[in-house]
Amino acid sequence: MNAVVRLEQDFSNVIDAIIGPGIGIFPHFIDSELVAALRHDLASLPPWELTPAAIGREQHQQTNEQIRSDKTRWIEGDTPAQRYYLAIMTSLRETLNRQLFMGLKDYECHYALYQAGDFYKKHLDAFRGRGNRRLTTVLYLNDDWQEEDGGELLVYPFQSKTVLHRVQPHAGTLVCFLSEDFPHEVLPATRDRCSIAGWFRIDDPIAPARRL
């Protein structure tokens, strides 16, 4: 893989978004070569490594296809593309901590494959009684995505039914927002839709979470 990771890249637009509205949408956040490598990495996974996505956490996890129907695979840095991406997220985490004093301890992420017709109903990323997910990221890997393909991410203000953002899942676009403040959902698409969903976390197992 020949992609160059800009570990010194300017994250000021992300910082400004988190300070301000708490959410930002950043086209071309990742260069096209790295996006292509990540997309190839996901496409190369054996089918059995992509498992039905669960809701809840730890012993409370369960699958519910009435709520979400995508398939996921956690990213552990097994390939060069994964390691490049994790290095960028580490650099972003360090910048957020240095400038915003967020106390973020780690970053977890997984590939998410939404096949045609798959969806994820409106939800918050902070689990009940567990507020340690502080910042959500979604990176899109979809080449040549068209509006008629569907699969939009809808983001809502807290405790509101009004759509705040309607995001097309174009390759290289990063969405970043405060996990406890923005309910969101994924609409069905007419073709496979690929992304990396991730969360910056604090180290506090009893931190309270807000309610939807």
The pLDDT score that the predictor gives to residue 60 is 42
The pLDDT score that the predictor gives to residue 9 is 81
The pLDDT score that the predictor gives to residue 209 is 47
Contact assessment for residue 93 and residue 104, using Cβ atoms and an 8 Å cutoff? yes
Calpha distance 102→129 (Å, rounded): 19
Q: What Cα–Cα distance (Å) separates residue 99 from each residue in 11, 32, 92, 96, 164? A: 11, 28, 11, 5, 26
Q: What Cα–Cα distance (Å) separates residue 137 from each residue in 47, 100, 111, 197? A: 25, 17, 12, 6
Q: What is the pLDDT of residues 142-156, one digit of tens each?
A: 999 999 999 999 999
The pLDDT score that the predictor gives to residue 62 is 46
Tokens 């068209």 locate to: 146
The pLDDT score that the predictor gives to residue 125 is 85
Residue type, 155: V
Two tokens, residue 83: 């390691």
Q: What is the pLDDT of residues 48-62, one digit of tens each?
A: 899 987 655 544 444
pTM: 0.88
The pLDDT score that the predictor gives to residue 210 is 44
Tokens 């570990």 locate to: 7
The pLDDT score that the predictor gives to residue 159 is 85
Could you report the average pLDDT of every consecutive run of 10 residues in the chain (212 residues)? 57 97 97 97 94 60 66 96 97 96 96 95 74 91 96 94 96 96 96 97 62 42
Calpha distance 17→35 (Å, rounded): 23
